[in-house]
Amino acid sequence: MTKLILVLGDQLSKDMAALRAAEDGDVIVMAEVQDEASYVAHHPKKIAFIFAAMRKFADALREDGFKVAYTRLDDPENSHKIGGELLRRAEEFGADRIIATEPGEWRLINILTYLPIPVTQLPDDRFFASHAEFEDWAEDRKELRMEWFYREMRRKTGLLMEGDDPAGGEWNYDQQNRKPAKPDLFRKTPPEFEPDAITEEVLTLVEDRFGDHFGDLRPFRYATDRAGALKALDHFIAHALDEFGPYQDAMLIDDPLLFHSVLSPYLNAGLLSPREICEAAAGAYADGKVRLNSAEGFIRQILGWREFMRGIYFLQGPDYTSQNRLGHRRDLPALYWGGETRMACLSAAVGQTQKLAYAHHIQRLMVTGNFALLAGIDPAQVHEWYLAVYLDAYEWVEAPNVIGMSQFADGGLVGSKPYVSSGNYINKMSDYCGNCAYSVSRKTGEGACPFNLLYWDFMLRHRDLLEQNSRVSRIYANWDRMDKDRRSTVLAEAAAFLDRMEAGEIV
């Protein structure tokens, strides 16, 4: 009897497990639905990217001889739910069961699990490590640290390995990285993709239906098919990877991308595979085209961090996103949704997010994430923001990065210490502070950088917990040595800043 084969908007690979299970007469189901487009207020670019890529992928499947039942958002029959579309198509085609590839979100896994028709959810084997492999690795470990998992993955895949040893003798070359960048740094701009007729039609639809969501839909220059994604990969390997390592933590006000790959949207949607990206980077090193610290640093992000984050998400279960170990309760301020701010770093990171649905790792971690953590924002709201605003955001990868790495809301499962800093770090790694209404060198008083005030406020609020952490505890000696009046001033000014922020004043 006929089976339905479900392909979700972030499963656009011909090598998906469910597609491999398709037999003659089976029907591929793809659906643009309101439920998926609005469980958070996704950036319009993200919705357009997914819908355009889905439409093109459906066409590619048809060309390969598959029968595809595709629901467009404006189809009058659309039930606007993945489950609803599956049931409707099952009736239409007389199908008695469904084959899916496991979705990247517990919410959808549950929906599929409880549909009133048999659904098989096959493992998503686009990743280097299966759930079972990660569980085995994690079992009986006191601490789950990415670095140890990453070494296992290097050994398993042979990427950047010379026999049993890591290429060059070290597993990690980060001491050669972490350089600040100068504004005149030369960088070849990445390829841009003019919307074709299919993308243009989607842009009009999204403009009409989701024009009120935060974020600029146009200009839209992302690739929306595999050919374009491959072009972006080739360009990155040829023109940016070599400088990726040294400048991966740098931030520039006029350069939102620097030497980052901007491949995560394609990778997470299935247009590229993690293996082909890592092999391309390792190949460029083997051919002498890129330095080892860049190839290793880049491969670690995908083979290490990306796989580790996925492992944590599935190990922790559906309640992970509601963790709030630090008890943070403040509302996310309007500046995250494009409201005015005097802080140049936040203005730059949020501004480029609004324009591009993209910010690179250090902007996400040390600007928007750092500020939310220091200011004690409710991690559930922070999570929702990150899930909404980035083109690459799906819960399996976004939640461990936000709840775990950035907001320390899981109490240190992902990160061994909270990623917080005063203005000093931002000043060292960027050119933001020179363009700011605040002064990074001022610790208190008129114009003092808010990060300087909030840093100590945060450290003091959580002293009981953080003093037990050997990676953080010595910071308190600096505080204790500080003059008593100065300490009171810092805390009073931090409280006043937070009061102004909560009152909706421009900060």
Among 262, 269, 326, 344, binds ligand FAD (CB under 6 A): 262
Does position 215 interact with ligand DLZ (CB under 6 A)? The reply is: no
Strands 161-162 and 119-122 come out as unpaired
Site for ligand SF4 in 70-99 (CB under 6 A): none
Site for ligand FAD in 397-456 (CB under 6 A): 397-398, 401-402, 405-406
Q: Quick one: 28 or 429, whose CB is closer to ligand SF4?
A: 429
Among 26, 32, 378, 457, binds ligand DLZ (CB under 6 A): 32
| AA letter at 311 | G
Task: Give which of ligand DLZ, ligand FAD, ligand SF4, none residue 32 binds (C-beta under 5 to 8 Å, depending on kind).
Answer: ligand DLZ
DSSP 377: B
Q: How far apart, in whole angstroms, are the C-alpha atoms of residue 362 and residue 413?
A: 20
Q: Quick one: 190 or 311, whose CB is closer to ligand DLZ?
A: 311
To which residue do tokens 């649905």 refer?
357
Does position 280 interact with ligand FAD (CB under 6 A)? The reply is: no
Segment near ligand SF4 (CB under 6 A); pick from 232-240, 355-363, 434-442, 459-467: 434-442
Does position 9 interact with ligand DLZ (CB under 6 A)? The reply is: yes
Does position 8 interact with ligand FAD (CB under 6 A)? The reply is: no
The phi, psi pair for 357, rounded to 5°, reads 60, 30
Among 6, 436, 459, 501, binds ligand SF4 (CB under 6 A): 436
149 and 315 Cβ atoms separated by less than 8 Å: no
Does position 343 interact with ligand SF4 (CB under 6 A)? The reply is: yes
Residue ranges in 144-225 assigned as alpha helix (H): 146-157, 197-210
Q: How far apart, in whole angstroms, are the C-alpha atoms of residue 222 and residue 262?
A: 10
Does position 449 interact with ligand SF4 (CB under 6 A)? The reply is: yes
CB of 371 to ligand DLZ, least distance (A): 26
How many residues sit in the footprint of ligand SF4 (CB under 6 A)? Answer: 14
Q: Quick one: 42 or 360, whose CB is closer to ligand DLZ?
A: 42
CA distances from 483 to 3, 81, 478, 479, 491 (A): 73, 60, 10, 9, 13
Among 3, 4, 5, 10, binds ligand DLZ (CB under 6 A): 10
397 and 383 Cβ atoms separated by less than 8 Å: no
Q: Quick one: 262 or 344, whose CB is closer to ligand SF4?
A: 344
Other beta carbons less than 10 A from residue 292's beta carbon? 17
Q: How far apart, in whole angstroms, are the C-alpha atoms of residue 275 and residue 307?
A: 12
Nearest residue to 205 via CA among 222, 191, 217: 217
Other beta carbons less than 10 A from residue 168's beta carbon? 15
Site for ligand FAD in 290-309 (CB under 6 A): 298, 301-302, 305-306, 309
> Please, is 295 exposed, middle or buried when counting C-beta atoms within 10 Å of its C-beta (0-12, 13-18, 19+)?
buried
CB of 30 to ligand DLZ, least distance (A): 7
Task: Give which of ligand FAD, ligand SF4, ligand DLZ, none residue 290 binds (C-beta under 5 to 8 Å, depending on kind).
Answer: none
Task: Give which of ligand FAD, ligand SF4, ligand DLZ, none residue 49 binds (C-beta under 5 to 8 Å, depending on kind).
Answer: none
One-character DSSP codes across 441-485: T-SSSTTB-HHHHHHHHHHHHTHHHHTT-TTTTTHHHHHHHS-HH
Does position 336 interact with ligand SF4 (CB under 6 A)? The reply is: no
| AA letter at 388 | A
Q: How far apart, in whole angstroms, are the C-alpha atoms of residue 81 and residue 114?
A: 14
Task: Give which of ligand FAD, ligand SF4, ligand DLZ, none residue 392 binds (C-beta under 5 to 8 Å, depending on kind).
Answer: ligand FAD
CA distances from 246 to 147, 206, 250, 259 (A): 19, 38, 9, 9
Q: Quick one: 3 or 45, whose CB is closer to ligand FAD?
A: 45
User: Residues interacting with ligand SF4, by CB under 6 A?
Assistant: 343-345, 423, 426-427, 432-433, 436, 438, 440, 449-451
User: Residues interacting with ligand FAD, by CB under 6 A?
Assistant: 260-264, 267-268, 298, 301-302, 305-306, 309, 360-361, 364-365, 369, 386, 390, 392-393, 397-398, 401-402, 405-406
User: Residues interacting with ligand DLZ, by CB under 6 A?
Assistant: 8-10, 31-33, 36-37, 42, 47, 50, 103-105, 108, 394-395
